[in-house]
Amino acid sequence: MSYLFTSESVSEGHPDKVSDQISDALLDEFLAFDTDSKVAIETLVTTGQVVVAGEVKSNTYVDVQEVARRVINDIGYTKGAYRFEGESCGVLVAIHEQSPDINRGVDKDDKNEQGAGDQGMMFGYACKDTDKYMPLALELSHDILKELAKIRREGKEMTYLRPDSKSQVTIEYSDENIPQRVHTIVVSTQHDEFDADDPMLAKIREDVINILIPRVKARLPERMQQLFDDKIIYHVNPTGKFVIGGPHGDTGLTGRKIIVDTYGGRGAHGGGAFSGKDPSKVDRSAAYAARHIAKNLVAAGVADEILVQLAYAIGVAQPVGVYVETYGRKNVKFSDGEIAQKVKQIFDLRPAAIEERLKLRNPVYLETAAYGHMGRTPKTVTKKFESPYQGKTELEVELFTWEKLDYIKQIKEAFGI
The model's pTM? 0.95
Report whether 412 belongs to an annotated binding site.
no
Report whether 14 belongs to an annotated binding site.
yes
Q: So what's the pLDDT on residue 387?
A: 84
Residue 136: helix, strand or coil by DSSP?
Answer: helix
Which residues does 176 contact at the CB level (< 8 Å), separation at least 6?
Answer: none
Ordered structural domains, the chain, with CATH: 3-8+135-245 (3.30.300.10), 120-127+279-415 (3.30.300.10)
Report whether 156 belongs to an annotated binding site.
no
By C-alpha distance, which of 285, 294, 286 is closest to 266? 294
Integer Cα distance of 281 and 105 in angstroms: 12
- pLDDT per position as a tens digit, 175-210: 999 999 999 999 999 999 999 999 999 999 999 999
Residue 81: helix, strand or coil by DSSP?
Answer: helix
- C-alpha pair distances (Å), 132 with each of 295, 368, 399: 9, 16, 15
Integer Cα distance of 129 and 109 in angstroms: 44
* Spans of the chain, pLDDT less than 70: 98-113
Report whether 166 belongs to an annotated binding site.
yes
> Is residue 401 a contact partner of residue 386, using CB atoms and an 8 Å limit?
no
Looking at residue 160, its amino acid is Y
What are the phi and psi torsion angles at 285 (to 5°)? -65, -40
Residue 17: helix, strand or coil by DSSP?
Answer: helix
DSSP notation for 106-119: H--SSGGGPPBSS-
DSSP notation for 188-227: EEEE---S-HHHHHHHHHHHIIIIIHHHHHHTS-HHHHTT
Which residues does 372 contact at the CB level (< 8 Å), separation at least 6?
Answer: 9, 138, 142, 260, 261, 262
Q: So what's the pLDDT on residue 91?
A: 97
The greatest distance separating any two alpha carbons of the chain, rounded to the nearest whole angstrom, comes to 67
Report whether 379 belongs to an annotated binding site.
no
Q: How many CB atoms lie within 10 A of CB 341?
A: 13
Integer Cα distance of 274 and 53 in angstroms: 15
- pLDDT per position as a tens digit, 14-24: 999 999 999 99
Instruction: Work out whether strand 161-173 and strand 3-10 pair parallel, antiparallel, or are unpaired.
Output: antiparallel
Q: Is 114 left (phi over 0), alpha (psi -120 to 50) or beta?
A: beta
The conformation of residue 40, written as its DSSP 8-state character, comes to E
> Is residue 304 a contact partner of residue 331, using CB atoms and an 8 Å limit?
yes
Lateral strand order in the sheet of 252-253: 90-97, 49-57, 38-46, 252-253
Q: So what's the pLDDT on residue 129?
A: 96
The angle at the Cα of 410, spanning 408 to 412, to the nearest 5 degrees, equals 65
> Is residue 148 a contact partner of residue 179, using CB atoms and an 8 Å limit?
no
The angle at the Cα of 276, spanning 271 to 281, to the nearest 5 degrees, equals 60
Looking at residue 61, its amino acid is Y
Report whether 36 belongs to an annotated binding site.
no
- pLDDT per position as a tens digit, 366-383: 999 999 999 999 999 999
Integer Cα distance of 34 and 22 in angstroms: 18
Integer Cα distance of 11 and 145 in angstroms: 6
Report whether 340 belongs to an annotated binding site.
no
Q: Which residues pair with 4 in a beta bridge?
A: 172
> Is residue 285 a contact partner of residue 47, using CB atoms and an 8 Å limit?
no
The angle at the Cα of 37, spanning 31 to 40, to the nearest 5 degrees, equals 100
Which residues does 327 contact at the CB level (< 8 Å), separation at least 6?
Answer: 177, 303, 305, 307
Report whether 98 belongs to an annotated binding site.
yes
Q: So what's the pLDDT on residue 417?
A: 87
